[in-house]
Amino acid sequence: MPIQLNHTIVWSSDPTKSARFLAEILGRPEPTRFGHFHVVELDNGVSLDFAHADGPIRAQHYAFLIGESDFDLILRRIVDRGLAYWADPGRHDAGRINHNDGGRGVYFPDPDGHSLEVITRPYGSARS
């Protein structure tokens, strides 16, 4: 059997809010419950399972490969919510997107400060 990522836990101060935020931004179905987790399912069988964290949240980075047509919809949701966004992970190029590898990408924060990224081309794909 090939090795595949199945799920990861995303620590959150408010799992309901954070899972709904991600699902809405990405245009995913309403999160489901599995035990104490709020689960956001992705198209490739991977899920992000939001769980309550006691104490400070250590920000992580989550990147999503999306289609070109989805990029415009997601960027519109980011803008409509008044969220800050950047073309780079260091958050220096505010209010812009990038065109890495001939695609488009953008970084934005979730409610707990996790760095979310959407890209339309995998990194390094321009060399292929």
Name the residue ranges covered by the structural domains of the chain.
Answer: 1-51, 62-128
Residue 127: pLDDT above 80? no
Q: What is the rounded CA–CA span in Å between residue 113 and residue 44?
A: 25
- For residue 64, what pLDDT is reported? 98
93-123 per-position pLDDT tens digit? 999 999 999 999 999 999 999 999 999 999 9
pTM for this model (two decimals): 0.94
Fold for domain 62-128? 2,3-Dihydroxybiphenyl 1,2-Dioxygenase; domain 1 (3.10.180)
Strand partners, 20: none
Q: Which fold has domain 1-51?
A: 3.30.720
Q: Residues of the chain with pLDDT > 90: what percent?
A: 95
